[in-house]
Each structure stands twice: as C-alpha cells, then as structure tokens.
Amino acid sequence: MVTVKTMLAVAAIKNWHLHQLDVNNAFLHGDLNEEVYMNLPPGYELQEEKGRQMADYSLFVRKNGCSYTAILVYVDDIILARNDLTYINDLKRILDARFKLKDLGTLKFFLGLEIARSSKGISISQQKYALKILEDASYLSSKPVKCPMMQNLKLSRFEGQLLEDPTVYRRLIGRLLYFTITRPDLSCSMQVLSQFMDSPRQPHLEAAYRVLRYLKATPGQALFLPSHSEDHLKTFCDADWAACQDTCRSVTGFCIFLGDSLISWKSKKQHTVF
C-alpha cells in the first residue's frame, strides 16, 4: 500500500493519467484430490534451516525519452500511469490481446480505496468501507466522538473481565486495521488495541467501540496528495517513554512525506526496554 500511495503522489505531482484494469479469470477454483509439490523459486535458498525470501515486485516502469509508463499489479487489479494518454490506449490493447483485460477507465476505486482527483490533487478515502463496518456493528446511529481514544488511557492485558466470545473483538480489530492504510489518525489507537487479540477483555472492546464512534464522526475523512508539491522525501519520528504499563516498553512512531504528500507511517512498540 505504500507503493500505491507513492505512485499516486507522484502522479498528482507529475499530472500523470491514471487508469485501472482488471484481469479476467485470474483465479481458478477447484478441489485438489492429491498432494501438490513445488520447487523453491530462484533466489530462495535454505541455509541452516533459515531461508532468504526474494521480494515480489509489483511495480513495473518504463522510460523512453520524455515518455514514462508505470504499471502497478496486485493479483488481478492493475493501475496504469502514463504522461501520454494516446500510448495508454495502445498499451491497453497490447495487454488485452495477451491477458484478456477489463478496462475500468479512469482510476476511481482500487482495493477498497476510493480515489478522487481534481486540479488540486488526489484524495484517498475509505468511506464506503467505514459505513459498512458501522452498519455491521449497529453503530450508524451512535453518538460520535472527536478522538479515537481517550487521553492518557492505559489498557492492560490483566485488568477487566475476559470476553466470552473473543472472536467479536478479533474480527472488529482486523477490520479496523485496514483503515490505517489511509487514516494515520488511527495508527496509534490500532497499535494499542491489536496487542490484546489473544485474550481480549471488556475494557479493550469498549475502547474499540470508541474507535467506531470516532469513525461515525469522520467516515469520509481522506488522505490528500497535493499536485503542487516538490518530490523530495521528508521523515519525522518520535517515541514515548515506557508508556506500556505491562512491559515498560516505549512506542515508536514515524511518518514519511513525499513533498507534502504523506505516503507512509507507523506506530509500533519497541522490542526491548531502553
């Protein structure tokens, strides 16, 4: 997803055309009645029972003089970026003759991300996904709140009543984690709540429901990638001081900008105590 956001940020700055394709029949469904064995792919070698995996690249670029083409592939979904609209149509015909593609036109919806474009830039949101989660949890009519987590809230894995059905919490957190793709405001909250997936308790579930109430107030909040921006990288990082009351470990957070476009961020507990 960082690659997707980086590509969109560059496209906004360079004013590239963005189109979407879908591969027909990308999946074959069937039952296997026998065991299947595969050889290790090139670049993957076992050394003392430890393997080194090769990166699976999904972004392909081609530059020819002033022309630039980028193709981003995720299973059967494809984003095609190009600074020349005429060549995009030619490339679509070439790819369709080989792979049988469905032309979805201008990029608007990709992997659950709603993408809107104007002369000022590109916005990425997950409003449809947010409303679906609120509906499934019966929180469409809930009272909204202005922040996803109460200030100075300290959750512990040892305090509070254990949930009778922990799958409710696990499923909710799993769905909420997908919001961190476009919502850096949820990154810290989800980092905290995802630590209790093994043995969730009532206070953890109540904190997760507060995130839903926050989403009720901001379902269409979007990540904006401006077109009038430079294309250099900027990084910021910080950490708290032993905020976890169970482990006394600190939490590190960072964010990376491409010009004025936020393309990557993370909030993660440190592995050791400093």
> In angstroms, what CA-CA distances link 16 with 74, 105, 220, 230, 256?
20, 14, 25, 15, 22
User: pLDDT of 157-204, one tens digit each?
Assistant: 888 899 999 999 999 999 999 989 999 999 889 988 998 998 999 999
224 within a domain of the structure (yes/no): no
213 and 238 belong to one structural domain: no
| Nearby residues of 62 by Cβ (< 8 Å), 6 or more positions away | 68, 69, 70
For position 269, what pLDDT does the model report?
Answer: 80
Distance between CA atoms of residues 55 and 261, nearest Å: 26
14 and 89 belong to one structural domain: yes
225 within a domain of the structure (yes/no): no
207 within a domain of the structure (yes/no): yes
72 and 180 belong to one structural domain: no
Mean pLDDT within 83-101:
85
User: pLDDT of 217-267, one tens digit each?
Assistant: 999 899 999 999 888 999 999 888 877 776 778 888 899 999 999 999 988
119 and 23 belong to one structural domain: yes
12 and 110 belong to one structural domain: yes
| Nearby residues of 253 by Cβ (< 8 Å), 6 or more positions away | 187, 188, 237, 238, 239, 265, 266, 267, 268
User: pLDDT of 29-69, one tens digit each?
Assistant: 677 788 888 787 777 766 655 545 555 578 888 888 888 89
Q: How many domains does the chain have?
A: 3
Q: In this structure, are residues 145 and 218 in contact, taking their beta carbons and an 8 Å threshold? A: no
146 and 213 belong to one structural domain: yes
Of 125, 146, 174, which residue constitutes the final position of a domain?
125
64 and 154 belong to one structural domain: no
Of 125, 158, 184, which residue constitutes the final position of a domain?
125
116 and 132 belong to one structural domain: no
Choose among 252, 265, 125: nearest CA to 184. 265
98 and 163 belong to one structural domain: no
79 and 18 belong to one structural domain: yes
- Two structure tokens written together for 209: 């429901």
120 and 7 belong to one structural domain: yes
Distance between CA atoms of residues 93 and 125, nearest Å: 30
Of 98, 125, 152, which residue constitutes the final position of a domain?
125
193 within a domain of the structure (yes/no): yes
> In angstroms, what CA-CA distances link 81 with 10, 74, 92?
10, 14, 11
Query: If DSSP codes are grouped into helix, strand and coil, which group holds residue 12?
Result: helix
222 within a domain of the structure (yes/no): no
Domain around 167: 127-217
* Angle, vertex CA 19, rays to CA 16 and CA 20, nearest 5: 145
223 within a domain of the structure (yes/no): no
9 and 59 belong to one structural domain: yes
User: pLDDT of 93-141, one tens digit each?
Assistant: 888 888 888 889 999 999 889 999 999 999 999 999 999 999 999 999 9
